[in-house]
Amino acid sequence: MAVSASVGAGAAYADHPPTVVPGLMPPGPPMGPPDDTEQNANTACASTQSGGDGPAVPDNQASLNLPAAWRFSQGEGQLVAVIDTGVAPNPRLPGLSGGGDYVSHSDGLSDCDGHGTAVAGLIAASRVPGQGFAGVAPLSRIVSIRQTSNFFSTKGSSQGKKPEDMPGYGTTYTLAWAIRRAADLGARVINISEAACKPSYEDMPDGPIGSALQYAVDEHDAVVVVAAGNKDHDCKDVANKTIDPLDPAADPWTKIDYNFSPARYDDYVLAVGSVDANGQPSKFSVPGPWVGVAAPGEHVTSLDVNYEQPGSKGTITGMGDTPSGKAGDPIMGTSFAAPYVAGVAALVRAKFPDLPARDVIKRIEATAHAPAEGWNPYIGYGTVDPVAALTAEVPDKLPPKHPLPARSLQLPVPANPPAPDNTARNVALIGTGAVALLLVLGYLGSFPIRRFLDSKN
């Protein structure tokens, strides 16, 4: 979900993690949107497609081997902030609380889009007998902060527009405000499944986000997990070819053509890319020098925001979370890869309660299934592994976010094999030949004896 985006193309230039400017962080309460907002004219809320109920474990969830991870941690005692479109109350989110609303005037427990409820379900949906689907950290608690919505906009701005042209609401400033709010509420993990994008030659108005992230991480020790971003909507022209075959040793930050925030605040966040069922990077997942790890992000099953409506089975496999979306659209995006990793962060924080936020991130990155080059801009240090994150020993330091350089190795020349030992064969052949010769000589020698005996007779 892009909260603030612009299209265009231009030459890439070096844009390392931006420096945090002090004093830009938004103030604390009161809550509420900074503008006069309303639900878009002539639009209903999100429609959903029921599915994924029953004992079968969804493929994405099965790939994480969660039952083995749950032997060590289920996220007990962890408060996870979901900064999103809101989270609707659901019996499978028993610890859900409202943290505020920067879109309208609710407590954060209203979700017209369905997006935030699906994200929360992937993190913390409780385990239910007979149901295969569950959240990664089913004993963690969710606090919802509504910060963006495709179904709301500033008052009067949606009049006369087609559904696909509805402006939506949410800015980089309200995102920064929500991050501060999550930190003040004591969230140990903060999930942000949204991204703002700008061409790299344009200024990104995200200074307040940087200040809020610094506040959350350095002053409140929160682990912040964010979506790497999708190639869609205003961000569809992004390339970010950070690995240049003609210049493989180049700094990846010099090769980007689009910036994504908050992902680009690499010193403070764990940015998550998406992989498909085969572990390959999803086509929509934005590469970048900020990507830390990856997780499944295609054909997702999660909680239904409309679970109380007739026909709902409580879980969904499709959703139309935009005014022009259809209920049967599969749930896909780095938005849904990020909460899998946020759930893993909650597991790790419960298992290692004294581990600082940056060390939690390092543990998740160090134990991921690494690509051959050690790190790449599509899946970072690799696909997340919950069991390894909870049990493995990790190095003191990770290699930098840069593919390992190509190396030329001289393979050892194999030694000549020893000459074959044919002694046994030779003895056998000689022996056989000698016996044959004696037989022939004996046979030939018998002729004169037979003639002599014949003459006597």
| Number of residues that this document lists for the chain | 457
Question: What's the token pair of residue 165?
Answer: 């042209």
Count the Cβ atoms, other than its own, within 10 Å of residue 83. 33
Instruction: Give the rounded distance of the alpha carbon of 93 from its chain centre.
Output: 22
Q: Is 425 helix (H, G, I), strand (E, B) or coil?
A: helix
Q: How far apart are CA 135 and CA 244, in angstroms?
A: 38
For 149-179, give one letter per residue: b (16+ CB within 10 A) or e: bbbbbeeebbeebeeeebebbbbbbbbbbbb
Report, as residue numbers or ranges, the catalytic residues: 84, 115, 335
Count the Cβ atoms, other than its own, within 10 Å of residue 117. 34
Describe the chain by its helix, strand, coil percentages, rounded to 5.
Answer: 25, 15, 55
State which amino acid sits at residue 136.
V
Helix axes 334-351, 357-366, angle to 10 degrees: 110
C-beta separation of 55 from 133 below 8 A:
no
- For 282-301, give the DSSP string: PTTBPP-TTEEEEEE-SS--
Question: What's the token pair of residue 305?
Answer: 């925001």
Q: Which residues pair with 260 in a beta bridge?
A: 197
Q: Which residues pair with 383 in a beta bridge?
A: 294, 369
Q: How far apart are CA 173 and CA 207, in angstroms?
A: 9
Q: How far apart are CA 402 and CA 416, in angstroms?
A: 41
Q: How far apart are CA 305 and CA 323, in angstroms?
A: 16
